[in-house]
Amino acid sequence: MDKIYFKGMSFYGYHGVFGAEAELGQRFYVDLDLSLDLSRAGASDDLKDTVNYAEIFTCVQQIVEGERYNLVERLTARIAEKLLCEFPFVEVKVKVTKPNPPINGHYESVAIEMVRRREDFGS
């Protein structure tokens, strides 16, 4: 299976359980590992035979910046669901990193990663 990767997409969102997270917001990073058959695009060199990268970016941006969730787990699942519904991916791996969750301690970040397949959604 062929892959399209997005690494380090950066968005500002208002996700979190605590009031300050919803009020002040913070940066979130999203990585995608998208599986689909790219053989036709590889042969034709035509955009209609693949997916438009800008549309993928916009789809994720609208979710992270336009919707609000308490849990990063739900945000991650929502991105996966939307990508499988709107694009011809067979499988998506979505990783959402929250670099500054309100945890008292020293760490670089917290991240959630989910893998979902088209058949998980009956599509």
Query: Do residues 90 and 1 lie in contact, with contact meaning Cβ atoms separated by under 8 Å?
Result: yes
- For 3, the enclosing helix (H) or strand (E) is strand 2-13
Is 98 one of the annotated active-site residues of the chain? yes
> Residue 69: helix, strand or coil by DSSP?
coil
CA dihedral 81, 86, 88, 90 (to 10 degrees): 0
CA dist., res. 94 & res. 11, Å (int): 14
- For 1, the enclosing helix (H) or strand (E) is none
- What letter does residue 13 receive in the DSSP assignment? E
Place of tokens 């035979």: 49
- Kindly list the catalytic residues: 98
